[in-house]
Amino acid sequence: MSTGWCEMVKYTMQEANRPGLKMSINLANTGAYLRGPWDMKEDDPKQLTWTASTVSGPAKVSVLLETPSDKKYFQDVALMAIRINSNGKKYEDKSAVDLNGNWKDVIIEQVDEKLIAEEFIDLNDQLKNDELQWNVPEGEWRILRFGYHVIGDKGSVDYKFTTTAGNTEKVSVSIAPSLEITGTWNVTFVPATGAKAFETTFDKLTFWNEKTNPEIKFFSGTAVYINAFAFTAEQAKDTARLQLGEVHDIAHVWINGKDRGIVWTTPWLVDLTGTLKEGINELKLEVTNCWANRLIGDAGLPEHKRTTKTNVRLVPDRSEYKRGLQAFSAEDELLTSGLVGPVQMEFGQEQKIDCTR
């Protein structure tokens, strides 16, 4: 699981403990098919796949190798050539092809059991854009291309619709898994009280009220988050929306200088279709909280150091005013504020169906 997901589990356990609730966590392979903060692509469960082809030498060959998976998120693992012959001897020495304890079974399935693996050649440097260019040594060689895809990446999915005329329309779509926006966030805090703005960086998104810096811990106002991410031309053309994760209290979203609106409640989604571009995209989020935390912070300060101007009572403790509405106390619990994410891009695909046919 990702670090962000582990932190959310920790927070949930802490919150459950306050009223004395019991909590359990169940792990299952179905987690790979869900979409949430655990969807990290490289951290998801994976499946090893392969393809095989045969060439003969000596010869200089240029072969277009089939990709072992039709999934959108596929990663090559190894490309190797195995010299084989067919001399009638049954396959016995499994250790000769026992790589990582698994691949011997692959080779047994792909090659007739009477074929014997005599020699391996690493061809990883010979593959470019699925094309293998290789000076084949003498003999018959089996080319094995190994790779993996994320189990949660379903690749192409078929949908069937029945039109008003009673005909069946089939639509095939391929939707990429979500992409988390990580890295350093540049954050500018603009206090609502008119105090001087200040800048900082967040390597990890956390709530303001959990910070040790009192300027951030008791902050009330708007913080401007700026980050950038790179997209391929294919990603930029996709139907895309931004998932902000968890926000307190509202967020104004800008992408590449374009205003994409304000969100103030779950599911914290913003449509970005048509605003993304190939290359670097700049994301700006203006996150605003309410003024309670600044009032709580000011309640613990002498009057001449307070930044808020209000007729609300600010007291050091609850000895005189027991009820919350009577005053703000320096001992009051701070409200959850800021952006914790995870901030992710979610992709989709739009297709038109003629339902009248």
- List, in sequence order, the alpha helices (H) in 178-303: 214-217, 233-237, 292-299
Q: SS3 of 15, please?
A: helix
| pLDDT over 90 (residue 103) | no
Residue where a domain stops, chosen among 108, 131, 150: 150
Q: Which domain holds residue 90?
A: 48-150
Query: What is the total count of domains within the chain?
Result: 3
pLDDT of residue 12: 83
Residue where a domain stops, chosen among 103, 131, 150: 150
Q: What is the mean pLDDT of residues 7-19?
A: 81
Same domain, 83 and 141: yes
Same domain, 275 and 325: yes
Q: What is the mean pLDDT of residues 204-217?
A: 96
305-330: pLDDT as tens digits: 999 988 889 999 988 888 777 889 99
155-190: pLDDT as tens digits: 566 777 787 788 887 777 777 778 899 889 999 999
| pLDDT over 50 (residue 15) | yes
pLDDT of residue 152: 55
User: Is residue 170 a part of any domain in this protein?
Assistant: no
Identify which has the larger pLDDT, 35 or 73.
73
92-106, 220-234, 241-255, 321-335: least confident range: 92-106
- Greatest distance between any 2 Cα atoms in the chain: 97
Q: What is the mean pLDDT of residues 10-25?
A: 81
DSSP class of 251: E
pLDDT-derived band at 33, boundaries 50, 70, 90: very low
Identify which has the larger pLDDT, 355 or 327.
327
Same domain, 250 and 342: yes
| pLDDT over 90 (residue 94) | no
pLDDT of residue 273: 92
Mean of all residue pLDDT scores within the chain: 80
User: Is residue 289 a part of any domain in this protein?
Assistant: yes
Same domain, 96 and 236: no
Sorted by sequence, the CB contacts under 8 Å of residue 264 that are 6+ apart come out as 249, 250, 251
User: Is residue 171 a part of any domain in this protein?
Assistant: no
| pLDDT over 50 (residue 101) | no
Sorted by sequence, the CB contacts under 8 Å of residue 207 that are 6+ apart come out as 248, 336, 337, 338, 340
Same domain, 317 and 210: yes
Q: SS3 of 338, please?
A: strand
Sorted by sequence, the CB contacts under 8 Å of residue 246 that are 6+ apart come out as 268, 339, 340, 341
Report the CATH number at residue 278.
Answer: 2.60.120.260
User: Is residue 325 a part of any domain in this protein?
Assistant: yes
Share of the chain above pLDDT 90, in %: 36
User: Is residue 286 a part of any domain in this protein?
Assistant: yes
Same domain, 89 and 189: no
Same domain, 108 and 85: yes
pLDDT of residue 112: 44
Residue where a domain stops, chosen among 133, 150, 167: 150
Same domain, 78 and 197: no
Q: Between vectors from CA 292 to CA 186 and to CA 310, what angle results, nearest 5°?
A: 115
pLDDT-derived band at 43, boundaries 50, 70, 90: low
pLDDT of residue 164: 79
**Residue 326 corresponds to which amino acid?**
Q
- Integer angstrom CA distances of residue 231 from 42, 113, 275: 17, 46, 12
User: Is residue 159 a part of any domain in this protein?
Assistant: no
| pLDDT over 60 (residue 1) | no
Same domain, 21 and 67: no
Same domain, 234 and 326: yes
Same domain, 102 and 185: no
Same domain, 135 and 251: no
User: Is residue 18 a part of any domain in this protein?
Assistant: yes
pLDDT-derived band at 67, boundaries 50, 70, 90: confident
| pLDDT over 50 (residue 113) | no
User: Is residue 163 a part of any domain in this protein?
Assistant: no
Q: Kindly calculate the radius of gyration of the chain based on its CA atoms and give it in whole angstroms.
A: 29
